[in-house]
Amino acid sequence: MAKILIIYDSKTGNTKKMAMAIAQGVREVKGTEVVVKKVDQVVLQDLVKADGLIIGSPTYYGQMSAKIKALVDKSVKIHGQLEGKVGAAFTSSGGTATGAETTLLSILQAMLVHGMIIFGRANDKHYGAAAVEEPNKNELASCYDLGQRLANLVLKLKT
């Protein structure tokens, strides 16, 4: 069984809605187990136990939230233990051109430092799922797709 962990921070509930749509996508892939946790509930061993990790944050000044950053900073204690795991990111922002891509890249950069495997998309949403304010139907579909794609990749790598 492939274990996928979705971690999110959400003040308005928009990032949480995205996390739930991603989890639905993961659940559609047989052979996977998904756990969704708010960042305040996460302990470092949760990251170590997961085969795939998807982190979501609101966009704050083009960066991840302080709570997500605090988790990333604490993860130095498990450095080397996330190598080879699959990672992805998602974000919600307050408008267009407000830093969503740099927020995604800040999360992915931390995953790369851990030696994680990151995948992109050629056709749209290259760095991860993003929404402006409350996610609409298309943005939630992108989240669902992200969950399915990550789960399928994790399964391929486990076999």
Average of pLDDT values for 13-36? 98
Residue 71 DSSP SS3: helix
Q: Say how far apart CA 137 and CA 128 lie, in whole Å.
A: 16
DSSP 99: S
Q: With 0-12 CB in 10 A as exposed, 13-18 as middle and 19+ as buried, what is 157?
A: middle
Q: At what angle do helices 100-113 and 66-74 cross, to 10 degrees?
A: 10
Given a cut of 90, is residue 98 above it in pLDDT?
Answer: no
Q: Say how far apart CA 159 and CA 154 lie, in whole Å.
A: 9
For the stretch 148-157, pLDDT in tens is 999 999 999 9
Given a cut of 90, is residue 96 above it in pLDDT?
Answer: no
Given a cut of 90, is residue 12 above it in pLDDT?
Answer: yes
Query: In the chain, what are the domain boundaries?
Result: 2-158
Q: At what angle do helices 14-27 and 137-158 cross, to 10 degrees?
A: 40
- List the CATH code of the domain at 2-158: 3.40.50.360
pLDDT for the residue numbered 29: 98
Average of pLDDT values for 78-89? 98
Given a cut of 90, is residue 159 above it in pLDDT?
Answer: no
Q: Say how far apart CA 109 and CA 111 lie, in whole Å.
A: 5
pTM for the full predicted model: 0.97
